[in-house]
Amino acid sequence: MRGLVRGYIDVGRNDPCPCGSGKKFKKCCLSSYEESLEVNFLKFSLYYKITYYSFTNYKEAFKDILGKFERKDLASVETFDDLIRSKTDWEEVLDWFIFNEYVAKGKTPLQLFLEDGDASEKEKNLLKRFDGTYWSVYEVNDVVNKLGKARLTDLISGKEYVVFDENIMHLSGGEIAFGRIVPYNNFYFLGYVFTPWLISKPEGLEDLLNQFIESLRNEGSSIEYTLRMYGYRLYLFINSISQPREEEPRIKISEYEIRDYDKVTGILQLSPFFVKRHDTSQGKVFVCVRNPRSDILLNTSQIILPSEEETEEDLELGVVRIYENTLDVLALDSKRLEVVRSLVEELLGNSIVPKESG
């Protein structure tokens, strides 16, 4: 699939660059933007391969690290499909395991996959860029949603990074995020774990983080080395001091007018991103399963299907409801709504038109 959300940018090569530099798009961000589209597609197409390989081949080593994360509840999981269908968070634990835990021959699952995993040279060349990366805490600024571009400041090392990644479109300026960034050619992209943490930076946060890291550093060790070795402790630390977000209304809604009913329902029924629920008196209902471009979860059939006993409280992203000539997108918060809405608009194109709010 090539049709990524940002692939439909409405900026010509000779137009001013959306970043505000004053330069023409082709002389500024176009090259990095186009490269980042390809990187994002390849990155998420690889996710199932690297996660399945790592868990299946080194399951016992994975279980050995669960104590580090205070996640012994995952010790009973025996298959990869069981893991990804678990209702508890597991992505961070597996991410650390793959890229930072040494499991055999003094190597990480990533390094072992690069030796004998089933992947093309192009895929392995991208995965090699993850080697040596680590989790940290970043302040997000200068967000250009249209390009998926932002300037990230590492609040522990103080270093700044220019990042191009489509998941930037779901972040806001001033937000504090936790996760991994990966070097590419002239920019960085986001790793598989990169999640919002705080809605704004509280006073003294850098000092607090640096005091914590200094308590882990050995004499002569760099900050980067310390984070590569002890990033899991940073993860536990920030979880222990998380600041609750402001309460929002439970359900967020976007409404659209349907121009081509048969085309809309046909596309949604065929899309791997949606699962059709039974028709109701309120129309047709489609569940949006996890978005493979932002939080990919795949099984061997390439789709995660909600189990029969799941309720709307369990849904990861949201719901699309069609009634007569109206399409509603519903989600539990603004960020999920934006993800589902972007996906719906990409898939359905001019078959739907946003309704005026009001």
From first to last of its 358 residues, the chain has per-residue pLDDT tens of 223 334 457 788 999 999 999 999 999 999 999 999 999 889 988 998 999 999 999 999 999 999 999 888 899 999 998 888 776 788 999 999 999 999 999 999 999 999 999 899 999 999 999 999 999 999 999 999 889 999 999 999 999 999 999 888 778 899 999 999 999 999 999 999 888 888 788 888 898 898 889 888 888 899 999 999 999 999 998 887 754 444 444 567 889 999 999 899 889 888 878 877 655 555 788 878 654 443 333 332 333 333 334 443 344 577 888 888 999 888 777 777 888 888 899 899 999 999 876 4
* Spatial separation of the C-alpha atoms in residues 340 and 256, rounded to whole Å: 13
* Spatial separation of the C-alpha atoms in residues 98 and 76, rounded to whole Å: 19
Q: Are 189 and 163 spatial neighbours (Cβ–Cβ below 8 Å)?
A: yes
* Spatial separation of the C-alpha atoms in residues 277 and 147, rounded to whole Å: 34
Letter for the amino acid at 152?
L
Owner of token pair 């678990």: 86
User: pLDDT digit string (tens) for 66-99?
Assistant: 999 988 889 999 999 888 877 678 899 999 999 9
Q: Are 126 and 46 spatial neighbours (Cβ–Cβ below 8 Å)?
A: yes
pLDDT of residue 241: 72
**What is the longest distance spanned by two Cα atoms in the chain?**
68
Q: Where are the alpha helices (DSSP H) in 24-84?
A: 30-57, 59-64, 80-84
Domain ranges within the chain, ordered by starting residue: 5-240, 252-354
Cross-sheet strand order for the sheet of 252-258: 274-276, 284-288, 318-323, 326-331, 252-258, 352-354
pLDDT of residue 249: 44
Query: What number of residues does the chain have?
Result: 358
User: pLDDT digit string (tens) for 264-301?
Assistant: 988 988 887 887 765 555 578 887 865 444 333 333 23
252-354 CATH fold: TATA-Binding Protein (3.30.310)
Based on its alpha-carbon atoms, the radius of gyration of the chain, rounded to whole angstroms, reads: 21
Q: What is the DSSP-derived secondary structure letter of residue 357?
A: P
Mean pLDDT for all residues in the chain:
83
